[in-house]
């Protein structure tokens, strides 16, 4: 097998660094001026690049903000697949949601500011919901795989995953409303406990 040229790897690393810098500049500008008041051209100018360059990395302003969540679903899939085979689906999903919570602990100040930015913009909230709809289908499919099923996840797995992601959203909303003064993991545990089945095995056929 022929190895990929080092140049390709270097180029990818450089591109990722530029993309990260553009996203950080964009978020900082949106936080100061308001998401809806700032254009892609203004973000590009603040970053010292052309508008076309900015749009090569991000198709929309929303994408620049929400790029911070791009790897969350992949991490959650890894967590779900790593759980014990006999574990009930609701417990599996609770652990999977840890992938979405972990970034909030890596930089609580920036995460809080980002959560507020999204909450204040209808456009960002709508795009965020689109992302979560896509993630719901992926995670429901993993639950189906764990049960030895192929093809699309059935309605039960979709409902369970949708409920899990709503628990996550509500926990983050509460955490944001309380200025990050409470433990996000505790809030998520409380949300999951509210919907936990009396018989964990009841979520499986």
User: What was the pLDDT predicted at 153?
Assistant: 66
User: What was the pLDDT predicted at 204?
Assistant: 45
Domains and CATH numbers, the chain: 6-65 (1.10.10.60), 71-198 (1.10.357.10)
Full DSSP string of 100-145: HHHHHHH-HHHHHHHHHHHHH-HHHHHHHHHHHHHHHHHHHHHHHH
Cα(105)–Cα(196) distance, rounded to whole angstroms?
25
Per-residue pLDDT of the chain (205 residues), as tens digits, is 444 444 468 887 888 899 999 999 999 999 999 999 999 999 999 999 999 999 999 999 999 999 989 899 999 999 999 999 999 999 999 999 999 998 888 888 999 999 999 999 999 999 999 999 999 999 999 999 998 887 666 899 999 999 999 999 999 999 999 999 999 999 999 999 999 876 545 444 4
User: What was the pLDDT predicted at 14?
Assistant: 85
User: What was the pLDDT predicted at 151?
Assistant: 63
User: What was the pLDDT predicted at 203?
Assistant: 46
Cα(37)–Cα(56) distance, rounded to whole angstroms?
21
Claim: this prediction has a pTM higher than 0.95? no
């Amino acid at each position: 097998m022929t190895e990929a040229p080092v140049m390709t790897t270097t180029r990818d690393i450089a591109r990722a660094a530029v993309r990260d810098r553009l996203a950080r500049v964009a978020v900082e500008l949106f936080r100061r001026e308001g998401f809806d008041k700032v254009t892609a051209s203004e973000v590009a100018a603040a970053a010292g690049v052309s508008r076309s360059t900015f749009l090569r990395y991000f198709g929309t302003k929303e994408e620049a903000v929400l790029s911070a969540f791009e790897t969350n679903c992949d991490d959650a899939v890894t967590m779900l697949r790593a759980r014990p085979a006999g574990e009930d689906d609701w417990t599996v999903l609770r652990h999977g949601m840890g992938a979405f919570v972990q970034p909030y602990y890596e930089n609580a100040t920036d995460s809080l500011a980002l959560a507020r930015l999204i909450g204040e913009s209808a456009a960002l909230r709508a795009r965020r919901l689109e992302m979560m709809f896509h993630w719901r289908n992926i995670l429901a499919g993993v639950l189906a795989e764990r049960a030895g099923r192929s093809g699309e996840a059935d309605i039960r797995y979709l409902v369970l995953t949708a409920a899990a992601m709503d628990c996550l959203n509500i926990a983050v909303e509460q955490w944001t409303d309380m200025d990050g003064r409470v433990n996000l993991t505790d809030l998520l545990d409380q949300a999951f406990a509210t919907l936990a089945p009396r018989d964990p095995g009841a979520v499986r056929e």
